[in-house]
Structure 1
């Protein structure tokens, strides 16, 4: 990492709040003008990094971070054989643990006291825990992504932070987050600014959950009872609440175009493993994958 100060930093990260949290952390630490960030899902990350290496684009950067998302074995070997000295992969999903065999990868599910997140791993990896406002943002992002806001802390701020990410969009959210952190403002200050919007949004979420519960389809698949819904927003909260309302279901499958989200509240169901069989990934209770568009078109043609 000796080139940090002389060259731009490249960040490949996930599309959710924890992934964007890594973008925020990197821009606070290295400066927003010194960070080039791309967001990816599991269906695009491997092809993009392979292209990035094959074209030798990686030589333009002082260091490359891959955060909150894993690469497959083929891409991991490519990294290992070409640019391992300038790459750091940081992830906290169980489906990525096999990557720990590489010196440039650090996959940890838990920290010293509780579940960790990609954002927290990046903060710790860069040794920049002295900025109090940044620590506060990282902690709230971690609590949302690990669901500790609900299961341990009974703290609504992380959920509201995630709501604002989707309400404001990535560009505005990152800009405002950087402004808050650099001016020593905490998450609670950011939330207070948008309290009225958040209150209206919460009512809409509750109505949305009730409407989707009425349209749930229950199927039996691979010894599981699955609750299937078609929904284009609020996947984490929707999946969790539908799991509570439909306790006969082992997990909830939320379909949004070619994107599939899996959620469960049961300890004996591993959504991450289910997603991995479809080239996706995630946690035990929250995961996702992408459906090939050809399969969707084939289904439509065979149905109509």
Structure 2
């Protein structure tokens, strides 16, 4: 018997003769179950390496370890999408035949068409979920919490980029009684968060069962919270990291103005009163605001009216 695993939370099994837990390969790349099993079969003469197989396994490895996002490897994401669009039997039969017949791995024209349609469906799903995410602080981290049954990796990735002030995204699947964790940040290891709740996974993607404790933290305690508001899009004047200043608003209709004081210091005005705290960058000032006030970037009309009122008051 041989255990082949790549999760950091399983490293303790290496103390046994049958344990073979490898988190990173010899090149320092995060390992996946597919890449480890592929090398196992090749090293024991059960399978011959080919370029097509190497490419196929690498696409799976990048998706499973989230390297596809860092490398902008859309082929890896599309292969995973195709796996769920067709039956297991059809996927297996098609891939086996293709890997035997071609020198390189590629999608056929029909697969490209259905994958393009699926991408549109994913974008619409994510657009809807953006309006449902709530923000909460759990222990030392700020989390975005959203209910979703589909496209967890894509959703977690896009929400993480939309709300970078959040340390991670918690995705609740009530039907499956599962809780998934995703992060785009290097300073957070969501496998540790999942491990505290009896689960596990990778640094960027992990999960656990929706236990009573997890339910209390992520469902009960957040149920009454209002969803986050998205930053205004397509602004021409109220822009982030602007030397003139940037305007934000919260649900209490408090106004927050971030402006540079010097090249290395940024300040925040709340309703025209400057806060005592200063920040080394615009990013840090915005993170503080979004975490403490759950505010959003106002649109240009609001920004212009705010400035007009400022001018009137100074006359």
Superposition TM-score, scaled by structure 2 size: 0.62
| Aligned equivalent of 2:63 | 144
3-state DSSP of counterpart to 1:126: helix
Per the TM alignment, residue 148 of structure 1 is displaced from its structure 2 partner at its CA by 2.1
Per the TM alignment, residue 194 of structure 1 is displaced from its structure 2 partner at its CA by 0.8
| Aligned equivalent of 1:272 | 191
| Aligned equivalent of 1:173 | 91
Contact 1:161/1:191 (8 A) holds in 2: no
Per the TM alignment, residue 273 of structure 1 is displaced from its structure 2 partner at its CA by 0.9
Greater length-normalized contact order (CA 8 Å, ≥ 6 residues apart): 1
User: Following the alignment from structure 1 to structure 2, what is the Cα–Cα distance between the partners of residues 287 and 121?
Assistant: 19
Residue 111 in 1 paired to residue 34 in 2? no
User: Following the alignment from structure 1 to structure 2, what is the Cα–Cα distance between the partners of residues 261 and 295?
Assistant: 11
Partner deviation per Cα, 1:50-102 (whole Å, 9 max, x = no partner) = xxxxxxxxxxxxxxxxxxxxxxxxxxxxxxxxxxxxx1111111111111111
| Aligned equivalent of 2:158 | 241
Contact 1:132/1:184 (8 A) holds in 2: no
Partner deviation per Cα, 1:204-232 (whole Å, 9 max, x = no partner) = 11121111011101111112111000011
3-state DSSP of counterpart to 2:136: strand
User: Following the alignment from structure 2 to structure 1, what is the Cα–Cα distance between the partners of residues 92 and 198?
Assistant: 29
Structure 2: runs of 5+ lacking an equivalent: 224-315
Moved beyond 6 Å, runs of 4+: 293-297
Rg larger in 1 or in 2? 2
| Aligned equivalent of 1:210 | 127
Contact 2:197/2:213 (8 A) holds in 1: no
Q: Mark the CA change 1:97 to 1:295 in structure 2 (over 3 Å): closer, same or farther.
A: closer
| Aligned equivalent of 1:282 | 201
| Aligned equivalent of 2:37 | 122
1:156-171 paired onto structure 2 within 5 Å: 156-171=74-89
Q: Mark the CA change 1:202 to 1:120 in structure 2 (over 3 Å): closer, same or farther.
A: same
Higher helix share: 1
Residue 93 in 1 paired to residue 93 in 2? no
Contact 2:51/2:103 (8 A) holds in 1: no
- Count of residues in correspondence between the two structures: 212
Structure 1: runs of 5+ lacking an equivalent: 1-86
Contact 1:140/1:187 (8 A) holds in 2: no
User: Following the alignment from structure 2 to structure 1, what is the Cα–Cα distance between the partners of residues 21 and 115?
Assistant: 34
User: Following the alignment from structure 1 to structure 2, what is the Cα–Cα distance between the partners of residues 96 and 233?
Assistant: 27
